[in-house]
Amino acid sequence: MNVLILSTKLPYPPRDGGAIATLNLAAGLAEAGFNVSMLSFNTSKHYTDPDTIPDALREKITFYTVDKDISIHPLKALYNLLFSGKPYIAERYHDRQFRLKLNDLLISGKFDVVQLEGPYLGQYIPDIRRNASARVSLRAHNVEHRIWEKRKEHAQGPLQKFYFGLLAKRIKRLEENITRSIDLLVPISAPDSGILNKEKEVPSITIPAGLDLKAYPEATPNAGSRICFIGALDWVPNQEGLAWFIDLVLPLLLSSHPGAELHVAGRNAPQGIVQLLSHPSIVYHGEVEDAKAYMRDFGILAVPLLTGSGIRIKILEGMAMGMCVVTTHTGAAGLPVQNGAHLFAEEEPEPFAGRLRELLDNPSKCNAIGKTARNMVQENFDTFAIASRLGAFYKKMA
């Protein structure tokens, strides 16, 4: 069975949650016996030399790329705001060369399923319909409009609230239109499935992100007063959550644990975040070459996420390494976890700080929760098992 995956960025190297989710599932399908091809935008924001993709990975997946500058152009953004009903995010992925390459692949190959990694690739569905008889599947990593609705709630000032609200409405309309156009829906979490399937009942299967536990060494048992954060710092939800943590949670923690340290790793931090990280109790590592090696040195992972949907891959990775995760209910959403048994989820600064104090004061409890979390990941998020479930679904529906 032949599967073509379309993605908005080349998911190599797999350093962020989206790339990990895309690449692991593609590799899992290949290991389950599928012929997997992938056509990706190689964007200015996440550019990777395709020649650096390892041969072992190329043996599983056939990669095709189209270079694309997705920088924000103020005049184009303004024109979009005033004269278009489409979200500007989606228009940045409108590309003639990508369409030509897609059409060439569809005409020259015989694909049973074309899998879209996210809604912004829905604009290419007409090309797929014209040039192939393949079933079109939407792999939904998030419910995108919910992210922007939550951003509106946390917006500073009326202009931000207006723009985020407008963008949320446009993206919601886009997601609804795509749901009416696809054949198969593959959301990453059950809550997302319920939201996306409201518009039209599409055959669907919930497929979470998968991990190969052998690739995740257990973290160092927690000692001292060190806490870590890791995430792409050019992603606004991470910026918002980190700012909330530093402004409201960290002072509460330091009042009882003055020697506590917050270690932060992440790429592309804007100047405002860099300034925020200039704090005597914060160690900023910038972008780390090996996220697992960085995380392995800590026992506690803080994920202060205020907006988002789907499943947070960094939380899964932390639990896979036996770390104790402290997050919000938004961060824990979509995971089969029990608060207090597999991780801690708190909404307000004082309880969030309180959980961190509790773990710093009780290393044995921290380590016990980490072990429980690792077992949960092993039971529920094995890459091969997840990809095999999706493969069986595709064979039944194609």
Beta-strand (E) ranges in the chain?
2-7, 35-43, 61-68, 113-117, 135-140, 184-187, 226-230, 261-265, 282-286, 300-303, 324-327, 344-345
pLDDT at 142: 85
pLDDT for 311 beyond 80? no
- CB atoms inside a 10 Å sphere around CB 70: 16
pLDDT for 307 beyond 90? no
**What pLDDT, in 10s, does the model give residues 207-256?**
998 998 888 988 887 767 899 999 989 888 899 999 999 999 999 999 99
**What pLDDT, in 10s, does the model give residues 83-101?**
999 999 999 999 999 999 9
3-state secondary structure (DSSP) of residue 249: helix
Tell me the C-alpha distance between 231 and 138, whole Å: 25
pTM: 0.84
State the pLDDT confidence band at 309, using cuts at 50, 70 and 90: low
The pLDDT of 155-181, averaged and rounded, is: 92
State the pLDDT confidence band at 155, using cuts at 50, 70 and 90: confident
Looking at every residue in the chain, the average pLDDT score rounds to 93
**What pLDDT, in 10s, does the model give residues 274-301?**
999 999 999 999 999 899 999 999 999 9
**What pLDDT, in 10s, does the model give residues 48-80?**
999 999 999 999 999 999 999 998 888 998 889
Residue 205 in tokens: 């299967």
CB 303 within 8 Å of CB 314: yes
Tell me the C-alpha distance between 216 and 374, whole Å: 10
Closest alpha carbon to 325 in 306, 299, 348: 299
pLDDT at 220: 81
- CB atoms inside a 10 Å sphere around CB 329: 11
State the pLDDT confidence band at 149, using cuts at 50, 70 and 90: confident
CB 248 within 8 Å of CB 349: yes
Reply yes or no: is the peptide bond before residue 13 cis, omega within 30 of 0. yes
pLDDT for 198 beyond 80? no
The pLDDT of 94-110, averaged and rounded, is: 96
pLDDT at 223: 65
Tell me the C-alpha distance between 80 and 50, whole Å: 32
| Ordered structural domains, the chain, with CATH | 2-210+382-397 (3.40.50.2000), 214-380 (3.40.50.2000)
**What pLDDT, in 10s, does the model give residues 262-273?**
999 998 899 999
pLDDT for 173 beyond 70? yes
The pLDDT of 343-349, averaged and rounded, is: 97
